[in-house]
Chains A and B, each alone.
Chain A
Amino acid sequence: MKHFNEEELIEHYYGESDSAAEIKQHVRECAICGAAYLALSRDLSEIVTIPTPARDANYGEQVWQSIRDSAAPYHAAKKQRFAWFRLHPFGGFATAVACLLIIAAAFFAGRKWESRNPPGPAVANNTSGGDTGRERVVLVVLGDHLDRSERLLVELKHAEPSTEAPMQAEARELLSANRLYRESVKQAGGDPTLTAALDHLERVLIEVSNEPAGLTQARLDELQKEMNTDGLLFEVRVLRSRVQGDVEQKGSATTTTKGVSI
């Protein structure tokens, strides 16, 4: 008689076994497997589902309002630009012909241009690629900074007085970097949301790193309340995800540029 192991019984319990009928029959006849399945069922039925706190009917609206400002509208024009090609019965054919004509024109124009203007030194062609690469490095570093800051804020949110020392050291380290990034973003006339968030973050970092006698529980509570660390944490998360998106975009842009230059 073939006995069933625990994994097979777990699979059967959740109704995902391929040999459900066979197992059902077996646990009825075999005392060992029957007892094992009974114990498994009892254990799993004792694992209670955590009751979910209720959210009122306006919860969805509240969520939407909290993220609304961070959601940039999609541009209708961008989506509708190719609508004619999709809707017109000869749209596909017309598109193909138009593409062929453009490619042919570009090819002959290129040949003409090349014969009149000989190509410059190869180094000059790499400038834009270099800029994209540099920009990507900056974004990666900024993303890393936001990631570290996010971790510190999470730590701060759940901190105990005993965790002050490592947190303060980390805050001091982040503070100098944060000042640099904030100034750079401001000077470059960059994203005002990013500047505001870095500014807010700096104030929290100053508070955490400059508390002379370490952070007491009361001071931690006060700090969390005063600084609205929850709101800041969310802001940092949003920015980090946006920066990550930009890094990915720059990455793919670099790849494309390389492909063209080869």
Chain B
Amino acid sequence: MEGNDHAIIRAVLAGEKDAYGALVARHSQNVFRVAFRITGDEADADEVVQEAFLRGYQRLESFESRAEFGTWIYRITVNCALNMISKRKVEATYQIGEETDPAQHRVQVADSAASPERSLLSREIEALQKTAMRALTATEKTAFILRHMEGRNTTEIAEALHIAPNAAKQAVFRAVQKLRRSLAPLRVTP
């Protein structure tokens, strides 16, 4: 797959602009997934995907043949998504007041076997989790998402965020600590 990516990149650099479409088609789902997880918004994620692939195209000459295109575009996406969430301070303020908005609970996957109390609790946990995630800094949030949801290791997180591995590790720690503190009120003691 990656060997094929390299052949496509060579074709694009040789002037076959439309060959890049094949790369976009191949990697767009992964790119969208990480963009959505970081931005938390479908429309924003779509914009991030467009920006990431366009940036990728514009910088294709700097792509090193030893690297994997998937990893390379993933890093660009993380950066674009980070830029997006950093510029949305107004939106963040707007959303904090919307915690009880039922529309925000639409993504909840209902467990039919769970008791009503259990369902209520998981809804509360999810709402609290969203609020807690918004309280994290952009770097902490992204580092945590890459670690916890995307399963990336410290080195990969550091490379994607352009920070030192130790700083990436600290960002994950801080995120976990803050999230645990925020979720503590809902903890059920047996």
Task: State yes or no: do A and B come from one complex.
Answer: yes
Which residues in A have some Cβ–Cβ distance to B below 8 Å?
A: 6-7, 10-11, 14, 16, 40, 43-44, 46-53, 55, 59-61, 63-64, 66-68, 70-71, 73-76, 79-80, 150-151, 154-155, 158-160, 163, 230, 233-234, 237-238, 241, 245
Which residues in B have some Cβ–Cβ distance to A below 8 Å?
A: 12-15, 17-18, 20-21, 24-29, 32-33, 36-37, 40, 42-43, 47, 49-51, 53-55, 57-58, 60-61, 87-88, 90-91, 94, 107, 109, 125-126, 129, 147-149, 153-154, 169, 172-173, 176-177, 179-180, 183, 187
Could you tell me the distance in whole angstroms from the C-beta of B178 to the nearest C-beta in chain A? 12
Could you tell me the distance in whole angstroms from the C-beta of B36 to the nearest C-beta in chain A? 5
Q: Is the CB of B87 within 8 A of A151?
A: yes
Q: Is the CB of B91 within 8 A of A158?
A: yes
**CB pairs A–B below 8 angstroms (30 shown):** A10-B172, A10-B176, A11-B169, A14-B147, A40-B180, A43-B179, A47-B148, A47-B179, A48-B129, A49-B148, A50-B107, A51-B107, A52-B37, A53-B42, A61-B24, A63-B28, A64-B21, A70-B54, A74-B60, A75-B15, A76-B14, A79-B15, A159-B90, A230-B47, A234-B50, A238-B51, A241-B51, A241-B54, A241-B55, A245-B58
Q: Name, among A71, A159, A160, A163, the residue most crowded by chain B CB atoms within 10 Å (CB to CB).
A: A71
For the complex, give the distance between the alpha carbons of A158 and B49 in Å.
20
Q: Is the CB of B15 within 8 A of A60?
A: no
Using known A-B contacts A48-B129, A63-B49, A158-B91, determine if residue A7 contacts B17 with beta carbons closer than 8 Å.
no
Q: Is the CB of B147 within 8 A of A49?
A: no
Number of residue pairs A-B, CB distance < 8 angstroms:
132
For the complex, give the distance between the alpha carbons of A43 and B148 in Å.
12
Dominant SS among interface residues on chain B: helix
For the complex, give the distance between the alpha carbons of A224 and B91 in Å.
16
Chain B residues with CB under 8 A of A14: 147-148, 172
Q: Is the CB of A63 within 8 A of B24?
A: yes
* Known interface pairs A48-B126, A158-B91; 18 further A-B residue pairs with C-beta atoms within 8 A, sorted by A's residue number: A7-B173, A14-B147, A40-B176, A47-B179, A48-B129, A49-B37, A52-B32, A52-B36, A53-B36, A60-B28, A61-B25, A63-B50, A67-B57, A73-B15, A74-B14, A74-B15, A234-B50, A234-B51
Q: Is the CB of A150 within 8 A of B91?
A: no
Shortest beta-carbon contacts, A-B, top 3: A60-B25, A76-B15, A60-B28
Q: Which of A52, A67, A79 contacts B33 (CB 8 A)?
A: A52
Q: Is the CB of B90 within 8 A of A158?
A: yes
Q: Is the CB of B88 within 8 A of A158?
A: yes
Chain A residues with CB under 8 A of B169: 11
Chain A residues with CB under 8 A of B147: 14
